[in-house]
Chains A and B, each alone.
Chain A
Amino acid sequence: MKRWRLALPALALTLALAAGACSDSKDTTGGGTEAKTVTIALGGPFSGGSKSTGDNIRYGAQLAAAEVNNAGGIADGPQKGAQIVFKEFDDAGVPANGASNIRTIIDDKDLVAFVGSGLSDVSVAMAPTASREAFPFLSAYASSEKILEAAVDAKSVFVVPPTFPAYAFSVTDELLKAGYTRPGILHATGTYGDGIAALVVDRLKDKSVTPVGNESFTFADTDFRVQLAKIKEATPDSLVVVGLANIDALILTQADELGLKVPFYDPGGITNNDTFITAAGPLAEGVVGNTPTMSGRDTPATKALVDRYTAATGQSVIPDPAVFAYEGVRAVAAAFAAGASGRADLSGYLHQIDIADTGVGPLRFAEDGSRIGGRLYVFKITDGKPVFFQGYEQTGPKAVREIPLAG
């Protein structure tokens, strides 16, 4: 009897393992080589519903590592010539997994820094431990300002993309410039949705505009008719939606079915995306959104980055998670080249790096770990493609300024 008492759970566990459902870590770059190496912990949702984000983080990081390694390794400093390798940590998009992973990562003395995390909730769960242990932590893609606020000890936490205020303010400013004064807001709950929606409300209030409705949903929802009907009753002149690509497409469709036909604004940076444009179809026309990575940005660094990415993956548009993971690894390589010897002094050097143009723009960090001069480009979807019309630059933790598209 005892034998079978153990056998059933064992069978289920075996099935679960066979399904690849467990969070795990693995060396993806052939660890064990005899060459001098610096090993970076690469984190993200490599399984689960956000797996594509994790895959993109991996592609971007590997692209940067290949670039550094093919040029002979770390360019200068005590680690000169070292090859960059990765050890992957899957968080499956679950904050608890991230919190557990960062403990494991810090305990592994071979790991010099963390690059990754696709969701702000995950980065927020990891950042306090990284800060407490003064461990270099670069959040790629996850961009809530709460990640930096959670890092209350050592200044070892960095957010590579522009932070939420820049996302929220750039699109809100465009909505106000277009003359809308009665926006409705429909947003996801959680760090991302609640965070950006609150910043949109703050920005509107700064201009004496109050949203006529502010409704929420969870990422598990598929029916938004009740929230949209509630907003529609308040007769909005525009609709701000903070969701994900497939959810925003659903919301557009259901708003259309309800007869809510107002301009649609996306401050979350997610509609510059084939998934959204395909799913929304003709309803995507006229949607105003933003993205930190303007396709067709006319600089040598951008062209070189796009060429390398296309050669490696066959894709012509670099997804945002790939871009920021790429920049995160480039930042670590630059800090080592500037003189860092290991994890203990890496954060100090990361605060000093100044890359003129990674392909996205200049990369340097402020004292609080936010990116200085992070850029966002605002577009309107026209004929099924984003047409860019205004650039913004983050000038402080909660400040942006308009910049021209070129440059």
Chain B
Amino acid sequence: MEFFLTVCVTSLTLGLLYSLFALGLNLVLRTSGQLNLAHGDSLMLATYVGLGTSSVVGFSGLAILAAVATGAAIGTLAHLAVYSPVASRRRAGMAGVGFLPALGVALIVRNVAVRADPEGSSPFPSLFPGHPVNLFGDYRLPAAGWWLVAAGIAVPVAVALVLRYTTVGRRIRAVADEPVLARLNGLPVTRTLAAAYALAGVVGGLAGVLFASFFGQIFVALGWQATLKGFVAAVLGGVGWVRGALLGGLALGVVESFVSGYLSTRFRDVATFALLIGVLLLVPRGVLAGGRLRSV
């Protein structure tokens, strides 16, 4: 029983992390139509900034803010300096190369992180207050785990509220739904897209510090892992700004944890990607999020 419960808790914590990774990717993917391959590396670098801030000022709240602000800044800057100018010069027949600028940004961000941490990994203090709490048997979930569960639920809800009830949120949805019409109606499309990248960066920066606080480490390779896991979760979840990311992330966490626990770790990635291919072939809009294309 204790083993089963451990697998369930692991499914939940990993799943919520994957959801947060996917949420940032979804925001940009839905708004601009682009897969932001730099999302994971941006949140990784933002987490390093959080670590640096924590070690300099010793105040966890400021470190979390620094990470979140850095995530937003990288996303906004990359959009305004690279993605938007490149997109405005794009011509017919170039649809297949749209991901390349993001790949370039990802490599630059990753190399900045390598310069900052040549060892490739660093211990990370828990930036979230509290003590480990016994869950069942001998299992103690650290404080960052509780914060992760709370944020994993609260952040998607907050993003959904922003998208539904704020001016910038409504603009993001309008640009996502009909970019040409939005422009003709005078909406500032470039600024709105920048806001979407910034919001994705905020979610990413928070996801990064939650990840690093929960595992006690930050490492450069997190960047690519976060992009990959987030992308798989987004595809599994399918349509929807928030619900798809949340359900897709949880589904990925459940599949990974239960396959590792009851079959073997060696089958985990096989099972995950078999499921992904199956979803793409059979229900390309995502198996978990239902059929509504515009759901929030």
Name A's B-contacting residues (CB within 8 A): 1, 4-5, 7-9, 11-12, 14-16, 18-21, 47, 49-52, 55, 189, 215-218, 220-223, 225-227, 229-230, 232-233, 246, 249-250, 253, 257-260, 275, 278-279
Contacts and interface: CB of A to CB of B under 8 A. Distances in A.
B3 A229 contact: yes
A9 B100 CA distance: 7
Q: Helix, strand, loop or mixed for chain A's interface? A: helix
Nearest to B99: A12
A395 to B, nearest CB: 34
A220 B265 CA distance: 12
Contacts of A189: 265-266
B265 A246 contact: no
B6 A226 contact: yes
A272 to B, nearest CB: 16
A14 B111 CA distance: 14
Nearest to A258: B139
Contact of B90 (A4, A15, A229, A246): A4
A282 B110 CA distance: 31
B265 A227 contact: yes
26 contacts: A4-B91, A8-B86, A11-B86, A11-B100, A11-B104, A16-B107, A19-B111, A20-B111, A21-B110, A49-B221, A52-B119, A189-B266, A216-B266, A226-B257, A227-B265, A229-B2, A229-B6, A232-B3, A246-B217, A250-B216, A250-B217, A253-B216, A258-B138, A258-B139, A279-B216, A279-B217
Contact of A1 (B2, B91, B100, B225): B91
A15 B104 contact: yes
B96 to A, nearest CB: 10
A5 B93 contact: yes
A1 B93 contact: yes
Contacts of B89: 4, 7
Given A226-B261, A233-B2, A8 B111 contact: no
B3 A249 contact: no
B87 to A, nearest CB: 10
Given A5-B91, A49-B221, A51-B118, A16 B86 contact: no
Q: How large is the interface on B (under 10, 10 to 19, 20 to 34, 35 or more residues)?
A: 35 or more
Interface of B: 2-3, 6-7, 9-10, 13-14, 86, 89-94, 97, 100-101, 103-105, 107-108, 110-111, 114, 118-121, 123, 132, 137-142, 211, 215-217, 219-221, 225, 257, 260-261, 264-266, 269
A12 B118 contact: no
A275 B216 CA distance: 13
Nearest to B221: A49
A32 B153 CA distance: 62
A51 B114 contact: yes
B219 to A, nearest CB: 7
Given A52-B119, A257-B141, A226 B215 contact: no
Nearest to A274: B119
Contacts of B13: 223
A11 B264 contact: no
Contact of A257 (B93, B101, B123, B132): B132
A15 B120 contact: no
Nearest to A253: B216
B3 A230 contact: yes
B108 A9 contact: no
A257 B140 contact: yes
A337 B152 CA distance: 65
A216 B265 CA distance: 6
B105 A15 contact: yes
B123 A233 contact: no
B138 A249 contact: no
A92 B119 CA distance: 14
Contact of B103 (A12, A50, A221, A225): A12
A399 to B, nearest CB: 31
A21 B111 contact: yes
B110 A19 contact: yes
A278 B217 CA distance: 11
A8 B34 CA distance: 15
A279 B123 contact: yes
Contacts of B138: 258-260
A87 B91 CA distance: 43
A220 B221 contact: yes
Given A9-B100, A14-B104, A233-B3, 11 more contacts: A4-B94, A12-B101, A15-B107, A55-B118, A216-B264, A217-B265, A233-B2, A246-B217, A249-B216, A253-B216, A258-B138
